[in-house]
Amino acid sequence: MTIGLILLSVISVFLFFAGTEKFFSRIGLSSRVAFFIVLALVIGAVIPEIRFGNILNIQLGGFLIPLAVMSVLFFRCEGKEEILKTLLSVTAVAAVCVAVRMLIPMKSTALVVTVSVVTGFVGAAVACIVTQSRIPALASVMGGVVLGDVITSLVFRFFIDGSTVSLGTAGVFDSVVIGTVLTLVMMWVLTVMKKRSQMQKQPLIGLDTEAGEDYPAPQVQPPEFHFTEEDYEEYFNDDID
């Protein structure tokens, strides 16, 4: 949770000084909304987890708040194509989270940090590749990490060791924050690359090689002489004399 809180603290400073206003406006969020989201994640992270006996533990910052933010972003997706891409991306990110949690046993603090970083990085990359859009990618990262955590906890509870179902704990908060930050950075890089490629493909102004008929070749008119035959003879006879 330490990595996530550090990243959120840095983002909060930039938001407070309006250093990221243009950045968040490009993804359809105002700086005020982004600040409240960051504040909600921080508050959820410092609130102790809620325990329901030996059956269920829930962390607000790693489960409920990312789930709420994901729901808001999901309803901001436009059209069936974006919705389908978001659902597909959530499933893919969740699969990544489950695979990483199964392959790397979190038996120490170092392994928990490793799982958090790997899950956040790979999840962000998968979300950006599948959706190729800012809001769906953000929704995918948050929803995918939360869904992957739920599936993993249920698998361990009912099929492996019968442990308590812990939602939003054990590095999930860090994975959400790391994945969100990396998604924003990756989508910004992809946007810049697309704009540059489009600028390079644009033809020069005034030159249309595919529509040459629009620019007919200029016709050169022969020079016109207004001398009469008498003027011609008079001109050269004067030179001879």
What is the pLDDT tens value at each position of the chain, 241 positions in all?
567 667 776 666 665 555 556 656 665 666 677 777 777 777 877 887 888 888 888 888 889 888 988 898 888 888 889 999 999 999 999 999 999 988 988 888 888 889 999 999 999 999 999 998 888 998 999 999 999 999 999 998 888 888 888 888 778 888 888 888 888 888 888 878 888 888 877 665 544 544 444 545 556 565 555 555 555 455 555 544 4
Report the pLDDT value the prediction gives residue 39, as an integer from 0 to 100.
78
The answer to whether the predicted template modeling score (pTM) of the entire model surpasses 0.95 is no
Look at residues 186, 107, 89, 102 and name the one whose alpha carbon lies nearest to residue 145.
Answer: 89
Residue 33, number of CB atoms within 10 A of its CB: 12
Hey, CA dihedral for 181, 184, 185, 186, is it positive or negative? positive
* Pair of tokens at residue 221: 């008119």
Within a 13 Å sphere around the CA of 184, how many CA atoms are in the beta-carbon half?
18
Residue 112, number of CB atoms within 10 A of its CB: 18
Distance CA 96, CA 129 (A): 14
Report the pLDDT value the prediction gives residue 44, as an integer from 0 to 100.
78
- Contact call for residues 98 and 148 (beta carbons, < 8 A): yes
Report the pLDDT value the prediction gives residue 24, as an integer from 0 to 100.
63
Report the pLDDT value the prediction gives residue 240, as an integer from 0 to 100.
44
